[in-house]
Amino acid sequence: MYKLARPFFLFCETPLHAGSGTDLGIIDMPIQRERHTGFPKIEGSGLKGCIRERFTSLEEIEFRGKKLDKEEINKCNNIVFGPEKGGDYAASIGITDARVLLFPVKSVKGLYAWITCPQVITKFFNELELCGIKLDFEVPKSRSTPSGSGLFVNEEKNKVVLEEYTIEVEYKDDQNCTLFAQWVAENVIPEEKEYRSIKTKISKDIIVLDDDEYRDFVQWSTEVITRTKIDPKTGTVTGSALFTEEYLPAETILYALALVAPAFNEDKGIFKDGEVTTIMGYFQNFLPKVLQIGGNATIGKGISRVGKKLLGVEI
């Protein structure tokens, strides 16, 4: 059904709560997680809804030399994302679940590091291949760091301290890890000049853990916030209004795929020429640089910068 696929990336500017996941622990409002791995994710349906909301707010645009008014924009959005009331025809674009590629963890040296693992990177490489993107380096080994890492507390013994845990790096200055970190800096981090320091840091402060270590960190190193509701008359907590919420921390990096099929609506409008590529072009051009994803928008949560450099990759 889908003829074209492209990756895009999400860089969390503020903590992000995509609930509600399933949890039998102490957290009242957990985040969404994969059932089989426990790794955090954002459901594709929720992400697609956030994106559609921004497209719906477009008032007047120009696309491929033609000016579109609000009515024409709504028609385009219905073709791309499906009719709002559903039933008549399917959307031509699909959005996959957003998966975590790099997860930030407190570090004794370098302030914080981004962690990942071979399982995550392998899955990422496989999904890039679905998009026709083949990288010219291999999946880095576990317990590896790129060249120039500033995370070591003991250079001689190659030790890194993340949270309260000491990790002994087995492959310091690993070539594949270095190439992976450089690729992320070049293709994932947003292009704006204020991200130059992030690009520099991420090119050297990634650490590839083994799969089990990574699972434990993403399970126990998310942000958990306790909130209350105060009675304005008494100044005390209202009843049992004490609850906990789980968030992906700021600086988390996720990725998702945009998948395009030919338009299912017989009246294809502006998409009739070069149908699939035109639909992807529309999505790429007007996908906003910033999205608000998940809950608690009114207290500044879920603000994410969109990295869409690879949406235009030639296949």
More confident call, 274 vs 57: 57
DSSP 55-110: HHT--SEEETTEEE-HHHHHHHHHHHH--TT-SS---SEEEPPEEEEEEEEEBSSS
Does 214 lie in the same domain as 109?
A: yes
More confident call, 23 vs 97: 97
The domain boundary residue, chosen from 203, 221, 239: 221
Q: Please report whether residue 226 resides in a domain.
A: no
Does 116 lie in the same domain as 68?
A: no
Residue 240: pLDDT over 70? no
In a 3-state reduction of DSSP, which class is residue 158? coil
Does 1 lie in the same domain as 75?
A: yes
- Please name which of 307, 252, 291 lies closest in space to residue 8, comparing C-alpha atoms: 307
What is the helix (H) or strand (E) element at residue 303, kind and residue range?
strand 303-307
DSSP one-letter code for 274: S
Please give the tally of structural domains in the chain: 2
Does 216 lie in the same domain as 139?
A: yes
Does 139 lie in the same domain as 48?
A: no
151-180 mean pLDDT: 94
Does 262 lie in the same domain as 175?
A: no
The percentage of residues in the chain with a pLDDT greater than 90, rounded to a whole number, is 71
pLDDT tens by residue, 183-230: 999 999 988 889 999 999 999 999 999 999 999 999 999 999 988 877
Does 83 lie in the same domain as 138?
A: no
Q: Please report whether residue 24 resides in a domain.
A: no
Does 269 lie in the same domain as 200?
A: no
Q: Please report whether residue 27 resides in a domain.
A: no
Q: Please report whether residue 282 resides in a domain.
A: yes
Does 291 lie in the same domain as 182?
A: no
Residue 9: pLDDT over 80? yes
More confident call, 231 vs 6: 6
Q: Please report whether residue 149 resides in a domain.
A: yes
Q: Please report whether residue 72 resides in a domain.
A: yes
Q: Please report whether residue 243 resides in a domain.
A: no
The percentage of residues in the chain with a pLDDT greater than 70, rounded to a whole number, is 96
Q: Please report whether residue 267 resides in a domain.
A: yes
Does 213 lie in the same domain as 279?
A: no
Residue 135 lies in domain:
32-38+101-221
84-103 mean pLDDT: 89
Does 260 lie in the same domain as 184?
A: no
Does 115 lie in the same domain as 91?
A: no
Interatomic CA distance for residues 49 and 53, integer angstroms: 6
Interatomic CA distance for residues 166 and 159, integer angstroms: 7
4-25 mean pLDDT: 87
